[in-house]
Amino acid sequence: MFQAPATPPPPDAGYPTVTIVERIGQPLPKMSTIDVAIGAVGFTSLIIIAAAIAGVLAGALYVWFRSRGPVSIIEARGGKHDLFKV
């Protein structure tokens, strides 16, 4: 069988290089699974409370807007429309 001659790689081919990293300072304390769970519950609670406040505010604005007066012509006529009038 015919085999192509092996060609050397070009000189700029990306060979992996070794980098030595020194750690300076004290290692951080390890977090347990319970610490992560408590942090997640705290963050989730914050999001839920913010959503509840936004919902109450939106509901209050909706009630205030609707209580100012009739919003549509049908409401101004007392709920009677002329759509199917014969």
> Does 14 reside within a domain?
no
Instruction: Give which of 58, 56, 54 is closest to 46, Cα–Cα.
Output: 54
CA 57, distance to chain mean position in Å, is 21
Listed ranges 1-5, 11-15, 40-44, 73-77; the one with the highest mean pLDDT: 40-44
Domain that holds residue 41: 33-68
Q: Is the residue at 27 inside a domain?
A: no
- Residue 21 domain-assigned (yes or no): no
pLDDT at position 55: 97
Residue 2 located in a structural domain? no
Rounded distance, CA 33 to CA 56, Å? 35
| Segment 46-51 long-range contacts (CB within 8 Å, at least 24 positions apart) | none
Of 6 and 65, the one with more pLDDT: 65
Which tens digit of pLDDT belongs to each residue from 29-65? 888 888 888 888 989 999 999 999 999 999 999 999 8
